[in-house]
Amino acid sequence: MDLARARDAFLVQLQADGRSPHTSGQYRRHLAALDRWLVATDRSRDLARIDHAVLAQFLVSDAARCRPDGEAKKATTTNTLRTSLRAFFGYAHAAGLVATNPARLIRRARCAPPPPRALSDEEVHRLLAVADVGGTEAARRDAVMVRLLLNTGLRLSSALGLRLDDVDLERGEIRVRTAKNDAPVTLPLSRAAARGLRAWLRGRPPGYLFPGDKGPLTRRQAGRRIDAVAQRAGLGGRATAHALRHTFATQLLRRTGGNLLLVQQALAHRSILSTTIYARLEPLDLRRALA
């Protein structure tokens, strides 16, 4: 079996396992990169002929280690590629597509997780000032979306899956049906978040909270809308949806005096280890603590 057919079977298995489209898309991109490299280097795409040496040569090649602009990828980015290869070839071995697992020797590089890319208070002020400009329906929707992400820390996919009946302003709650690991959660709304939603909800027909042309906004559409707001605020490339989540978490940690358990609950992290990335002290904080 060639790599492309095996990849398609793997993606079906991921869907059957309930993995998110985002996760499946990442595997698809990584395996496509391997496929292109095999073709470019005149190597066989037959799965049975891809051994551990071929995978090692791919991982040390520019195709795996460099971005399209020629700059080196971050170590954490390359680690996700290693993980994708291990998962795919582990599946191929378990499914009987190959006699041995050629990715069995691949190990993730040891590296510290990147620090969260949060916005400063001044950058948040600039972003919101720009977001609130514009009287069109789309501009109002984008402003509400940006404010909701900043005030709740929701993942973008979770926010885009919200429907009007998921928001309970009387109880100050929001039910997140589209959550990571398919685990719906109910989160409290801050006064700022409720205030931003109230006007947007008034008089709207039932349906998605952030509608697009057909159904809800897609991740790609929403990402472009957020980036457009960021560009106008002079924050191009910094104010991504995930940066807004990081900003919410760092601000909440600061307001609660470093209560990681509370931040974990607000972000719906399954493990406290995922929350500890926000606990890094700034040099000035360390100096104050030791004074």
CATH number at residue 141: 1.10.443.10
| Same domain for 58 and 140 | no
Averaged confidence pLDDT in the chain: 88
- pLDDT tops 90 at residue 61: yes
At residue 286, does pLDDT exceed 60? no
pLDDT at 195: 83
CA–CA gap between residue 216 and residue 185 (Å, rounded): 20
Q: Read off the pLDDT band of 156 (50, 70, 90).
A: very high
**Residue 274 pLDDT greater than 90, yes or no:** no
Q: Decide if pLDDT at 155 tops 70.
A: yes
Looking at the structure, tell me whether residues 250 and 170 fall in a common domain.
yes
pLDDT of residue 54: 96
% pLDDT > 90, the chain:
56
Asked if 181 and 255 sit in the same domain, the reply is: yes
- For the segment 266-284, the average pLDDT, to the nearest whole number, is 74
- Look at residue 140 and tell me if it is in a domain: yes
Q: Is residue 272 part of a domain?
A: yes
CB contact at 8 A, 59 and 81: yes
Q: Are residues 87 and 129 both part of a single domain? A: no
150 and 82 in a common domain: no
Is 287's pLDDT higher than 70?
Answer: no
- Please give the residue range of the domain that contains residue 54: 3-94
Please state which of the ranges 33-42, 55-64, 251-260, 282-291 shows the lowest mean pLDDT. 282-291
**How many domains does the chain fold into?**
2
Under the banding of pLDDT at 50, 70 and 90, the label for residue 141 is very high
Q: Are residues 28 and 170 in the same domain?
A: no
Mean of pLDDT values over 276-285? 64
Are 169 and 250 found together in one domain?
A: yes
Banded pLDDT at 113 (limits 50, 70, 90): low
**Residue 62: pLDDT band with limits 50, 70, 90:** very high
For residue 35, name the pLDDT band (cuts at 50, 70, 90). Answer: very high
> Does residue 193 surpass a pLDDT of 90?
no
Task: Answer whether residue 110 is part of any domain.
Answer: no
- Token pair 């298995």 in the structure block, residue: 13
162 and 265 together in one domain: yes
In a domain, 125, yes or no: yes
- Are residues 87 and 125 both part of a single domain? no
**Is residue 115 a part of any domain in this protein?**
no
For residues 1 and 271, the model is more confident at: 1
pLDDT at 282: 53
Nearest residue to 157 via CA among 263, 25, 250: 25
In a domain, 194, yes or no: yes
Q: Give the pLDDT band of residue 289 (cuts 50, 70, 90).
A: low
Whether 99 is in a domain gets the answer no
For residue 7, pLDDT over 80 is answered with: yes
| pTM (2 d.p.) | 0.65
Residue 134 has which token pair? 């514009």
Question: Residues 134, 83: one domain?
Answer: no
**Is the pLDDT higher at 54 or at 176?**
54
Query: Per-residue confidence at 279, pLDDT binned at 50, 70, 90?
Result: confident
Q: Is 109 within a domain? A: no
Q: Are residues 90 and 125 in the same domain?
A: no
Same domain, 149 and 263: yes
Buried b (16+ CB within 10 A) or exposed e, 7-36: beebbeebeeeebeeeebebbbebbebbee
Between the CA of residue 118 and those of 92, 219, 223, 276, what are the distances in Å?
A: 39, 20, 17, 15
Residue 288, pLDDT above cutoff 80: no
